[in-house]
Every structure is written in structure tokens, then in C-alpha cells.
Amino acid sequence: MNTFDLLKKTLLAAMVATSFGLAACSADGDGVESGGIVDDGGDNGGFGSNDGSTPTTVGEDTDGDGQTDTTISGNFVCLQGAKAYGDVTTEVGANGLVGGLLSTLLNLLGGNTVTTLLNSVTEKDYAVDGHLATYSTFSLTLGLLGGLLSSVDESVVFPSQVPAGTFAVFGVSFPTATVDLSLFNQISVTTYLGDTEQETTTYSQSDLDLLGLTADQPAFIGLKSHKAFDRVTIGLTPGLLSVDVGDAMHVHELCTGGKFVTAPST
């Protein structure tokens, strides 16, 4: 065997070994970097199991006016996260705004508003990490909202358009203070294409009370899209706020794919 043939065989063997190693690594991983969801063995940090037992209210806009008008029956099972559509990013915002439009609004308010708003959602990337056990935390701070600011938001921004038919469903739970004091008026889940609102669904305190939620009990809320989008925002609009409240809402994961099942019998 000449030197050239030996070199070719050596390179081929190295390529095969490398490919095998990469395949093995992918198979052994949890797949979250490509949109996989990890159930964490049922130990989901207050979320419960991803088995169809989680109370669910997911709507869709069937008449094209941008507001959900039909509730899909069954309980949601989260099968795919946001990272299925690329390298997503997360941003803290208000009033449905991010980027330059938000900056313009915050400049009008001045003072410490920017810092206070950004501190109102912590561990924001946990909402797209593929693990139901982790979560970003919304906090309500005295003096932040009211006047020009009405909501604290977290947006998941996609690198390109996500097609219609995709879910924008968040796994959420509510700490004791929120449940006991009924601090919020409304939670909204909204899709956008650029700065244009596509579809939205809203929930009042009573809507979630009907699901029978107690402190730290999870729920899946959101919508099935009928329009393409490149951003999904979940917003918390509190009612009368007269004290600093710490934790007000936990956002465990944005699910872009899933299925509906009949709730398991207890």
C-alpha cells in the first residue's frame, strides 16, 4: 500500500469515528437544543408531570379577527419547545413592546424605570431551556406599573417566521401570594410578526380559578396559531397594586408543539 492510499484510509477512518461520536452524543443528549422537552422525571419544580394531567386552556382564532374564540378540548402535553425553530432569544418588555418602541416609551418615563422593569423578570432564558422544572419569575414592584406602563412582559423572539398551525402555549404556575391576593387582572399570550400583532388570548383571575388552580399548581395556557409569527409574548397585567409582591408568576416553558389528551382519571 502506497503512502497516498494509507493516508486516504486513515482520513476515512477518522471521519467515520467522528461521525459515530457525534451521533452517539446526540442520541445520549436530551435534545433540548433542537427543541426537545425534558420532563425531569416528574420533579418539575412545582409544575407536575407532562402527562396530560395539567389543567389546560388553549384557544384558537377561527374567525380571523385576531382574538381566540374557541377553546380546544382536552389537556395539553408539551412535545416541542421554542428551540425547534432556531436560536431563540428572550426579552423583557411592557405593553407588548420590545426593542426601539419600548425604549422610546421608557425614555418618556425616565428615572429608574428601565432597571426596575428589567428586574421584574428574572432567569428569563429558563422559559426556553426545554426543562419544565425551571422557570422565569415575574415580580410585581410597587410604583412600576400605572400610567404609561400597564403590563410586565416576557417575549420569545425567533430568528425567522414560525408557520401557522404552531402552538404558542406556556407552562405557568402561580406562587401563593398571587393566588391568595388575586393580584392580577389579566394574563395575555400574544403572537407578533415584526411589530404587528397577529393573534392573542387573554385570561382573567376568574378564568384561571375555573381551572381549580391552587398555589404552585401548573397550567398550560396559550393559543394555536392561524397566522405565522416571529415573536410570542406573555404579559401580566396586575390589578390594584399597593405593596411589593415578590414572585407573582412562574413561566416554565414556551411550547411550540404538542398534543391534547383526555385527563387521566384520579
Give the DSSP per-residue string, 34-101: GT--B-GGG--TT---SSS-S-EEEEE-SSSSSB--EEPPSEEEEEEEGGGGSS-EEEEEBTTB-HHH
Helical (H) or strand (E) element with 209: helix 205-209
What is the mean pLDDT of the segment spanning 48-70? 94
Q: Which comes out higher in pLDDT, residue 104 or 3?
A: 104
pLDDT digits (tens, 9 = 90+) for 153-171: 999 999 999 999 999 999 9
pTM of the complete model: 0.85
Q: 212 falls in which pLDDT band (50, 70, 90)?
A: confident
Q: What is the mean pLDDT of the chain?
A: 83
